[in-house]
Amino acid sequence: MILIIYQHPLSDFVPSGRLLQPSRRTKEMEEKQKLLVLYATQTGNAMDAAERIGREAERRACPVSLLPIDQFDPSSLPDQSTVIFVVSTTGQGDTPDSMKRHLSQDWLQAVNYAVFGLGDSGYQKYNFVAKKLDKRLADLGGRPIIEKGLGDDQHPSGYEGALDPWMSSLWSSLYQINPELFPKGLNFIVPDTELMGQPKVIITYHASNQAHLLLSDTSDLDSKAMQVEYARLMSPAKFPSDKSRPHCWLRMTSNSLLTRADCGRDVRHLEFKFHSSAVEYEVGDVLEILPSQNPDAVDAFIRRCNLDAEALITVQSRDVADDAGAYPSRVPIRLKTFVELTMDIASASPRRYFFEVMSHYATAEHEKERLKYFASPEGRDDLYQYNQKERRTVLEVLEDFPSVQMPFEWLVQLVPHLKTRAFSISSSPVAHPNQVHLTVSVVSWTTPFKRKRSGLCSKWLAELDPQQGVYVPVWFQKGLLPAPSPSLPLILIGPGTGCAPFRGFIAERAIQSHSGPTAPILFFFGCRKEEDDFLYSDFWRFHSQKGGVLSEEKGGGFYVAFSRDQPKKVYVQHKMLDYSQKIWELLGKGASVYVAGSSTKMPSDVMETFEGIISKEGGVPKEAAVRWLRALEKAGRYHVEAWS
């Protein structure tokens, strides 16, 4: 089960009131004269949109400062003149904690602001955070430059379908408010050749006797760990989640198929053991895995770009002042290792700016013209169809334009960064000591041009052989499903691989029940066919019988919907309606609701079902049921973890 977590766009943006260091205050005052663009990124889209806004500002000779939110001191926000926020929606559309602080209504009275949100209208709360943030900024006295922009992944051009026209309105409105930001006038445009300038990174090549990475007193695994640390610390992506907590290594001990062979779906149960000391985690937590790239693809990329795989390199930002202290130890590593661990060359699609820079290095005229068209507003839709819709990889794009030979510095800056993939943990540290279990569905799809595609991480994990002594680099993080106390009644809804975190919940409560009374659990599971994809069927049945924690005699229950085992489809919400009275009774006893699974229709369908149950069983109008459920959310008793 692959889980995509949308980061709280302002999760660290808390007005703490801490004072700026004296050495920074002058610089902060200078920054006030610039257009400030703040963003938070998890998948890279928010950073890409923010960088596009920054480049468009530079094209108009408008001074701009571009920062991730966690590098900006929130207490200085009222001192800014103009701020653009680029935000994406969180898992449940939660309001960031920083926006819940009690602040005066005139806190931002001197600040002009604009908000652009990135979302997907297929999600339950489309662009909820952008809408909430826009309202909160206005409530604090901020002055909106233009109406908030709402990017939609469902648009034929993706979020750029809204970003381009929004930016056009932004510049004209901003010029009317503060013409001093445009010293050469609104219509002045810096030539592209002058604007592109130099890449933001510097590659330094080292002699072979400078290599200190593979030390004689380190094991192979220790050497790999150092390579991961050094490579990702040197990457221009910075990988803040990597640096905020150390990674560890897990050894795969089991890789078993949960679905029937040849049923059209490949879902795996994977088990790992800690290599050294165990990391503390709780049920509901998330495991991030750094996937391994296909060695053949890496070699093909290095050949295509005329790179020396064995060269020893270090990477650093060209802006040394801002980069000070970012790399505590610059240890040269092999160029191939750096590519393998930081540059996603064969699964992620390049961004629009990649094509713009490519056009400057194309020597064949027809390729240069096509690349310029792709990078232009007129070619936006065609680029989206060629690139994002087809999930064209960096390697494929480079092979489609053979006359382009980009410097390695530009490739390091522009190739999408190799990101960790997040999975819900399906084990309990109490029930499975020193172990971590995952439920992984192998992602596969067909593009509009009938090309077969597979998820990089899920396919790689599914093909690993535990007998080969496989070790995987991982990071632990908190998920959106808090670990419940034994005395808390639970209503769990987890169709498909959404059952993964609840396997850990139930395994842990079963252990807890041996030492004292525990609250009941209602679990609603759904799959297509009983014979094909009834995941963990023996586990659920065992705990629903003979006084188990899911048994009806303990006040709980396990109810499964097989959607395609009969002519009329049956889903989890239908089973919920069948047991609406039991759900209502458990809600009355203080139960918390946990929902996990696909992010498209399921979460909204389940919420509507709860609204109907509350209305029916509580004897109240639908509007009152909606308010009751919203109160349940605000009280921290309704949790959703959804993924694409």
* pLDDT tens for each residue of 428-483: 999 999 999 999 999 999 998 999 999 999 999 999 999 999 999 999 999 899 99
Highest mean pLDDT range out of 121-125, 159-163, 361-365, 386-390? 361-365
Query: What are the structural domain ranges in the chain?
Result: 22-196, 201-247+293-414, 490-643
What residues form the annotated binding site for FAD?
Answer: 391, 421-424, 455-458, 643
CATH topology (fold) of 201-247+293-414: NADPH-cytochrome p450 Reductase; Chain A, domain 3 (1.20.990)
Regarding beta strands 312-317 and 333-334, do their DSSP bridges make them parallel or antiparallel, or are they unpaired?
antiparallel
Residues 555-588: pLDDT tens digits?
A: 999 999 999 999 999 999 999 999 999 999 999 9
Rounded to whole angstroms, how far apart are CA atoms 619 and 602? 25
Query: Regarding predicted confidence, which is higher, 561 or 77?
Result: 561
CATH class, range 22-196: alpha beta
CATH class, range 490-643: alpha beta
Residues 238-260: pLDDT tens digits?
A: 544 444 556 789 999 999 999 99
What residues form the annotated binding site for NADP(+)?
Answer: 497, 563-564, 569-573, 605
Residues 265-317: pLDDT tens digits?
A: 999 999 999 987 778 999 999 999 999 999 999 999 999 999 999 999 999 98
Regarding beta strands 149-152 and 112-119, do their DSSP bridges make them parallel or antiparallel, or are they unpaired?
parallel
Query: How far from 428 is each of 248, 431, 481, 486, CA to CA, in Å?
Result: 18, 5, 13, 13
Q: Does the pLDDT at position 634 exceed 90?
A: yes
- Cβ 257 vs Cβ 266: under 8 Å: yes
pTM of the model: 0.86
Which residue's structure tokens are 């920083």? 98
Q: How many separate helices (H) and strands (E) can be counted in the chain?
A: 23, 22
**Mean pLDDT value across the chain:** 86
Rounded to whole angstroms, how far apart are CA atoms 343 and 192? 26
* pLDDT at residue 216, as a whole number: 40
Report which of 250, 243, 275 is spatially closest to residue 461, judged by C-alpha positions. 250
What residues form the annotated binding site for FMN?
Answer: 41-46, 88-91, 153
What residues form the annotated binding site?
Answer: 41-46, 88-91, 153, 391, 421-424, 455-458, 497, 563-564, 569-573, 605, 643
Please check whether the two domains, 22-196 and 490-643, share a CATH topology: yes
Report which of 92, 95, 7, 100 is spatially closest to residue 594, judged by C-alpha positions. 92
Rounded to whole angstroms, how far apart are CA atoms 286 and 597? 14
